[in-house]
Amino acid sequence: MRGRGLLGHPERVILLCFLAAAPFLLTIWVNGDGIGYAAYLRSAVVDRDLRLSNEFEHLSSHIEADASGLPSVFLRQSSHRVGIDSVWHSPRPDPVTGRVPSYFSVGPAIAWAPAYVAAHGLTLLAAAAGAAVKPDGYGGLYYLAIILSSFAFGIAGLILAFRIASIVTPPREALWAVLTIGWATPVVYYLYLSASYGHPLTMFTSAAFFLYWWRTRHSDHPGTWFRWGLLAGVLFLVRWNDVVLAAPAFAIEGFRLLTRRDARPGASGVRQLLACAGAALAGFLLVAAPQLAVWQYFHGRPWVRHPTDLVRLDPGAAWKMLVSARHGLFVWTPIAVPAVAGLFCLFRRNRELAGASLAAVILLVASNSIVEDWWGGSSFGLRRLVSATPFLALGLAVFFADARLLLERRGTRGVPGTPGRARLVMGRLAAPLISITFIGWNLLLMAQYALRMISHTGAVSFSVMAANQLKVLARMIQLAGEVLR
């Protein structure tokens, strides 16, 4: 269509909006959970083994030294120093096998492997040509390959989230919702400043599963269920507990098979369900096999042996994950309030989509609430819910669409003292104004976190966050002056 311009291509807008910020925000380093992921990769590619002790020793002691990118310059100018957790970043040998394990999932290492192997090849060629580079698997092109891989998967996940939101809302509202969720939640922090944590990968895997299931739903064919199982296996491979995101889809499909009206008399529905469930399980195990094999190698059994007791049943933990000052979703990420409200509003448009999405979010919260550190340890916001990005984007798109519809209806009916055209304009401006407000808040909060003005692990009240917003602007100007001297 003529005259549509760039806004007529919302997926391009998403791509350009996040690419444009990359030179200023993307930090090329391996830190936090990324240490556990990168240890697998470096050992397998460079050392060609899985003896991880030397990887953990280097990765945990050279976090800042190997870092590059503009944010790392500000980090070195600040008083903040990156810490490590000796339990997870310097693990002891397994008591049964004697091997030093990584307690993190193997999926991110597999996802990064193509780019990392290419970086290793280029570094070997450069070293052979006399360049002053070390093909040792650390820093430089190696970390660039890891971060760009995570970044690419994260952008792809946001584009898929847009496609999910577009199922029930106009493209304009879906676009604003994805941009807002991308910039006004922890997504932006883990997409740019800590991409090695692997959370950008979870945005892609959750969106890919949900979108493919929705487009192929209500299938009686074991082949389709097998593919659903494959994608569920990918969820598990990248982040183990994310597999719960697949549960609502399988529950819906299983219930439909058992209760369909066209089922033949007898147990045909049950037999069909068993055949389809068996196909899904086969697909899941096929993809999950690398993780099971890694656990077998390190622990002598096909499941993990953690060094501490991580599971703790706290009846109030799920509620704390939502409202606590210690990284609670609605406190640290206030845009989640209208996003979750939008999921409830979605029931008026599509009950099945709303039920599956809301159930996925509830299961993700529940599965993380039984972990001892439900707040996510050192975390900007509730990082373990980044996997819920497609569902929050969907809910926010519905909220934006309903808000616009409400204002425009009031405009067409006429409001005393207010022209109808003005109400139509207000309807169109609702999403951008809400988006800009929450994005600005989140970016300043992220600066507070990065500059250690607020705790990374403890509770931070909303009043403290608000009081620091102006202070952090002054601090950033001061740091910029020091860097430019």
Each residue's pLDDT tens digit, 168-224: 999 999 999 999 999 999 999 999 999 999 999 999 999 999 999 999 999 999 999
Asked whether residue 426 is assigned to any structural domain, the reply reads no
Residue pair 430/408 in contact by the 8 Å Cβ criterion: no
pLDDT winner (highest mean) among 7-11, 376-380, 399-403: 399-403
Asked whether residue 427 is assigned to any structural domain, the reply reads no
Mean pLDDT of 25-42: 95
Residue 318, pLDDT above cutoff 60: yes
Report which residue type is found at 371: V
Q: What is the pLDDT of residues 389-436, one digit of tens each?
A: 999 999 999 999 999 988 887 655 545 545 567 777 777 888 999 999
**Spatial separation of the C-alpha atoms in residues 357 and 388, rounded to whole Å:** 9
Please report the pLDDT score of residue 82 as a whole number: 65
Question: Which of 378, 383, 446, 57 is closest to 239 using CA atoms?
Answer: 383
pLDDT winner (highest mean) among 67-71, 271-275, 424-428: 271-275
User: Which residues sit opposite 415 in a β-bridge?
Assistant: 418
Asked whether residue 410 is assigned to any structural domain, the reply reads no
Asked whether residue 456 is assigned to any structural domain, the reply reads no
pLDDT category, 464, cuts 50, 70, 90? very high
* Whole-Å CA distances, 414 to 405, 421, 430: 14, 9, 18
Domain containing 188 equals 27-399
Please report the pLDDT score of residue 69 as a whole number: 82
Domains in the chain, number: 1
Asked whether residue 192 is assigned to any structural domain, the reply reads yes
Asked whether residue 276 is assigned to any structural domain, the reply reads yes
Residue pair 459/448 in contact by the 8 Å Cβ criterion: no
Residue pair 469/445 in contact by the 8 Å Cβ criterion: yes
Compute the 3-state secondary structure of the chain and give helix, strand, coil in percent, each to the nearest 5. 70, 0, 30
Dihedral, 139, 445, 332, 395 alpha carbons, nearest 10: -90
Residue 479, pLDDT above cutoff 80: no
0.75 cut: is pTM over it? yes
Please report the pLDDT score of residue 1 as a whole number: 40
pLDDT category, 2, cuts 50, 70, 90? very low
Asked whether residue 468 is assigned to any structural domain, the reply reads no
Asked whether residue 140 is assigned to any structural domain, the reply reads yes
Q: What is the pLDDT of residues 70-113, one digit of tens each?
A: 777 766 655 555 667 777 888 999 999 999 999 999 999 999 99
Please report the pLDDT score of residue 483 as a whole number: 67
Residue 415 has φ and ψ, to the nearest 5°, of -120, 130
